[in-house]
Structure 1
C-alpha cells in the first residue's frame, strides 16, 4: 500500500473516531441513564462555548441575555436529534461572565456553566468554585 493510501485510511479512521464521540465536550456530564444527549450540556453565549459545571454552588445574579444549546446529532437515529434551543443566561456573583454563567428558565432553576478554553485548562475562578463545593 502506498504512503498516500495509508494516510488516507488513517485520516478516515480519525474522522470516524471523532464522529463516534458525538457532540460532547470534555468536562460535560455526557449521556445519562435516561438517554439524554451527549451534547445537552454545552451552551453558546456571546460567541463562547460553555460546558456544564457539575457539583458547584453559585449565587445567580442578573439576567444577561440568551444562551443557545446548539443542535446535536450524537446518535445514528435522527429521530433522537436534539434541535437548537435557548434559555436565559444569568451572571454569577463575583465571577466574570467571560468565565462562568448560569443558564436556566429562571434564576432559581439556573445551573452553572464554565467557559471551554481551547487549551482545556480550568480557570482559577472555576477551580475555586469546584474546591469550595
Structure 2
C-alpha cells in the first residue's frame, strides 16, 4: 500500500503535534538526557519519528508501545499517557532500522531506530 505524500505529512504532523520529537542533552549525568516524547518501543528497540516522506507500508508486525512520558514535571497536564498502536514493516527497510506505526496501515507514520 503506497501512502501519498500529503497523507504522510498530515499524519506525521499530527504525530509530532501530540508527542513531540525533540532530543535534548546537557552533558550532565541524569539531567536533561534524552526526551521520552515521541519514543515508541517495538521488539525491544526504541524508535523516533523520521522525516522519510515516501514509503510503502508492509505487513503488520505486531504492537508498538509508547510509555507514559513526563519530560516537564513542573508543568501539570503535559504528561503524555502510555498507549499501544500497530507496528508495520516498511518495504525495503529492516525493522531493526525502521518501522511504521499507526492504528491502520493508512495512518501509519515512519519511525527510525535510535
Which TM-score tier does this pair reach, normalised by the shorter chain?
Answer: 0.5 to 0.7
More helix, by proportion: 1
TM, length-normalised to structure 1: 0.59
TM-score by length of 2: 0.68
Unaligned runs of 5+ in 1: 1-12, 25-38, 117-133
Task: Report the number of matched residues.
Answer: 87
User: Aligned Cα RMSD in Å?
Assistant: 2.0
Highest relative contact order (Cα 8 Å, sep 6+), 1 or 2?
2
Assess if the C-alpha contact under 8 Å between 2:62 and 2:87 holds in 1.
Answer: yes
Structure showing greater radius of gyration is 1
Deviations 1:78-126, CA, capped at 9 Å, x for gaps: 322111111100011111111110000110110010111xxxxxxxxxx
Unaligned runs of 5+ in 2: 1-26
Name the counterpart of 2:7: none
Q: Distance in 1 between matches of 2:52 and 2:86?
A: 20
Aligned counterparts of 2:39 and 2:53: Cα–Cα separation in 1: 16
1:57 aligns with 54
